[in-house]
């Protein structure tokens, strides 16, 4: 699959009323944002069953159904976070049991309104336990957890059956990626990666060495690196926005905003937005195929859609690396 350097991420459009919502959204605006992104050259959309407890997939399906066949984008979604419909605010559980996965893929196909999913991904390693917070990389492992080799075989079977075109792993460390590769080729991985959160460098290097695609999520660190975010806005985040209680928007906010501010001179030199520079920095890493960027309104798309055309120089990368170090934001290597 040939994909544009940026893809539309549909977590934020999922709305409120569930554990990891971004606050209230307007569905008509969300559909308009998706269509505007496609009209602007974005040819893939990334979503997940758990986003809005199915609502995001339904919105994506509605948005693409109204497009001519030749203009329809590729659709990527994820399985493995199972929620309790009677308690939407409860943390979803990481479950990749074969029967559960097969139920999930049929539900996603129905909500998206397609006969085949272009990229089907495992959202998190199966621990059999709850995902306590957005970006939860830990979590206890239950004795009932499904072994990776078992759930990755099910994913490979879905590909062989034609239910999905390609299979991927999101939020899986190198040791699990290597174990999966022994069962079936990992077509793509999806780790979090940004100038703030640089901890997935090892996963990206693993993928590069094996011909595996890399689509990274949160390249703007959930809005912090757009150049529009402020301390005042962080303080005003509603209780139903998961970011309100996250360390990136509380204890780490000052350092993160300092880094975002340091990107302004680079953006000015390139005639780009701060957001486009932040995404271009991610795309500059060897092995990164594309970046997932969210938007809740069409106008927000215009702030990042040109990121693929921004080519950062070695001097730019040195300047950004110095800013990362000086700000104290995040962890991981500061330069490709």
The pLDDT tens digits for 49-88 are 999 999 999 999 999 998 888 899 999 999 999 999 999 9
Rounded to an integer, what distance in angstroms lies between the CA atom of residue 122 and that of residue 237? 30
Q: Which residues pair with 217 in a beta bridge?
A: 192
Rounded to an integer, what distance in angstroms lies between the CA atom of residue 335 and that of residue 79? 32
Query: Given the structure tokens 């569930």, which residue do they identify?
Result: 18
pLDDT of 135 over the 70 cut: no
As a whole number, mean pLDDT of residues 9-28 equals: 89
Tell me the pTM: 0.92
For residue 132, what pLDDT is reported?
63
Can you list the pairs that 131-139 forms with residues at least 24 positions away whose Cβ atoms lie under 8 Å? 131/81, 131/91, 131/92, 131/93, 131/94, 132/91, 133/20, 133/91, 133/242, 133/246, 134/20, 134/242, 134/246, 135/192, 135/246, 137/171, 139/94
For residue 75, what pLDDT is reported?
98
pLDDT of 157 over the 60 cut: yes
For residue 246, what pLDDT is reported?
86
Active site (catalytic) residues:
51
pLDDT of 226 over the 70 cut: yes
For residue 317, what pLDDT is reported?
98
Given pLDDT bands bounded at 50, 70 and 90, which one contains residue 240? confident
Please answer whether residues 33 and 301 qualify as being in contact, where contact means their C-beta atoms are separated by less than 8 angstroms: yes
pLDDT of 239 over the 90 cut: no
Task: Tell me phi and psi for residue 112, to 5 degrees.
Answer: -80, -20
Given pLDDT bands bounded at 50, 70 and 90, which one contains residue 139? low
For residue 263, what pLDDT is reported?
97
As a whole number, mean pLDDT of residues 31-46 equals: 97
What distance, in Å, lies between the first and last C-alpha atoms of the chain?
25
Residue of 124 and 133 predicted with greater confidence: 124
The pLDDT tens digits for 184-216 are 999 999 999 999 999 999 999 999 999 999 999
For residue 248, what pLDDT is reported?
86
As a whole number, mean pLDDT of residues 82-99 equals: 93
Q: How many CA atoms lie within 13 A of 19 on its CB side?
A: 22
Q: How many CA atoms lie within 13 A of 141 on its CB side?
A: 10
In the chain, the percentage of residues whose pLDDT exceeds 90 is 82
Residue of 24 and 114 predicted with greater confidence: 114
Q: Which residues pair with 169 in a beta bridge?
A: 122, 189
In the chain, the percentage of residues whose pLDDT exceeds 70 is 97
Dihedral class, residue 222 (left if φ above 0, else alpha if ψ from -120 to 50, else beta)? left
Query: Given the structure tokens 């695609």, which residue do they identify?
Result: 213
**Interacting residues of 264 by C-beta distance below 8 A, sequence separation 6+:** 227, 274
Residue of 241 and 117 predicted with greater confidence: 117
pLDDT of 133 over the 70 cut: no
For residue 29, what pLDDT is reported?
97
As a whole number, mean pLDDT of residues 264-281 equals: 98
pLDDT of 36 over the 90 cut: yes
**CA distances, 332 to each of 175, 200, 249, 265 (Å):** 18, 8, 19, 23
pLDDT of 275 over the 70 cut: yes
């Amino acid at each position: 699959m040939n994909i544009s350097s940026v893809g539309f991420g549909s977590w934020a459009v999922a709305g409120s009323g569930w554990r990891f919502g971004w606050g209230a959204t307007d569905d008509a605006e969300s559909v308009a944002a998706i269509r505007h992104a496609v009209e602007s050259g974005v040819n893939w959309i990334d979503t997940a069953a758990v986003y809005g407890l199915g609502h995001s997939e339904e919105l994506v399906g509605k948005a693409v159904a109204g497009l001519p066949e030749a203009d329809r984008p590729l659709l990527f979604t994820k399985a493995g976070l199972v929620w309790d419909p009677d308690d939407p605010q409860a943390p979803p559980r990481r479950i990749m049991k074969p029967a559960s996965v097969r139920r999930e893929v049929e539900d996603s196909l129905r909500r998206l309104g397609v006969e085949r999913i272009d990229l089907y991904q495992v959202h998190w390693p199966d621990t059999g336990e709850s995902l306590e917070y957005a970006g939860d990389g830990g979590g206890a492992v239950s004795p009932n957890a499904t072994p990776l080799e078992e759930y990755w075989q099910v994913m490979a079977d879905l590909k062989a059956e034609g239910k999905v075109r390609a299979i991927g792993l999101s939020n899986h460390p190198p040791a699990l990626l290597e174990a999966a590769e022994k069962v079936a080729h990992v077509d793509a991985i999806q780790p979090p990666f940004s100038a703030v959160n640089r901890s997935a460098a090892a996963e990206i290097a693993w993928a590069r060495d094996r011909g595996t695609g890399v689509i990274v999520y949160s390249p703007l660190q959930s809005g912090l690196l757009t150049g529009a975010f402020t301390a005042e806005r962080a303080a005003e985040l509603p209780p139903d926005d998961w970011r309100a209680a996250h360390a990136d928007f509380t204890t780490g906010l000052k350092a993160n905003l300092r880094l975002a501010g340091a990107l302004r001179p680079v953006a000015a030199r390139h005639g780009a937005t701060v957001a486009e520079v932040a995404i271009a920095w991610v795309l500059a890493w060897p092995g990164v195929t594309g970046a997932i960027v969210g938007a809740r309104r069409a106008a927000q798309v215009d702030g990042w859609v040109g990121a693929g055309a921004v080519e950062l120089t070695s001097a730019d990368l040195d300047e950004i690396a110095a800013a990362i170090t000086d700000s104290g934001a995040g962890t991981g290597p500061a330069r490709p």
